Amino acid sequence: METYLPSAEAVAVTAVTVLALIVLWDAFWLTRQRSDVPELGNLPAGGFAWESEGVHELVRQWGNLGSMAAMMVLPWGLLEVSNTPMIYAIVWDILLALHLISLVIPKRYAITSTHLFADGQRYPWERLRLAKRQPKRRIMLLRNGWGPFGPLPLGGDAAALKTARAYIEAMEQARRIPSGMESE
């Protein structure tokens, strides 16, 4: 029985297209961060907003940056064996470089009574929790139900992270107190 495998070029086109969609999707969400978090500091309705710097994002994203560096190198070793045109590896690396840049640009974060705003996304507090083990230079939240794919690190300077952690701990404490039992 003959098995049909797609051509190397078809696989390359698919991989590059999927990566391009991911890069565009992330870029779209990152453009929303200024409109979602228009002001910094203590928020009028309660909560706190802050902005990171590039160095904070390097600390926050170090694992992703290393993985992407490996993904940039990997196709080059397979081009000749797979008979894939070089242009796909070049486009792949350009797209990953754009994604790397998007990971290290400064981000805006905000904590409100109902949501966390991070990376242009809005996360309800019911779906987040503080990780038991916290890294030194970032805050690590976990997304409920995501298993090992659930870490959501937050970046920023030490003062902003200290304030943010106090707000997050207050949110978690408030969730543990059943409604109506606060003033017994």
Question: For residue 18, what pLDDT is reported?
Answer: 96
User: Helices 8-31 & 86-104, crossing angle to 10 degrees?
Assistant: 20
For residues 95 and 83, give the distance between their C-alpha atoms in angstroms, rounded to a whole number.
21
- Confirm if 120 and 37 have CB atoms less than 8 A apart: no
Question: For residue 147, what pLDDT is reported?
Answer: 79
| 37-50 pLDDT per residue, tens | 889 999 988 899 99
Question: For residue 4, what pLDDT is reported?
Answer: 82
Nearest Cα to Cα of residue 174 among 121, 131, 122, 112: 112
**Which amino acid, one-letter code, is at 47?**
G
Question: For residue 60, what pLDDT is reported?
Answer: 82
Those residues whose C-beta lies under 8 Å from the C-beta of residue 64, and which sit 6 or more positions away, are: 103
Looking at residue 183, the DSSP 8-state letter turns out to be T
| 100-147 pLDDT per residue, tens | 998 888 999 999 988 999 988 899 998 998 988 888 888 999 998 887
| 135-178 pLDDT per residue, tens | 888 899 999 888 777 888 898 999 999 999 999 988 888 777 65
Q: Which residues pair with 121 in a beta bridge?
A: 118
Helix (H, G, I), strand (E, B) or coil at 130: strand
Looking at residue 135, the DSSP 8-state letter turns out to be P
Helix (H, G, I), strand (E, B) or coil at 40: coil
Q: Which residues pair with 70 in a beta bridge?
A: none
| 3-29 pLDDT per residue, tens | 788 888 999 999 999 999 999 998 898
Question: For residue 177, what pLDDT is reported?
Answer: 65
pTM of the model: 0.78
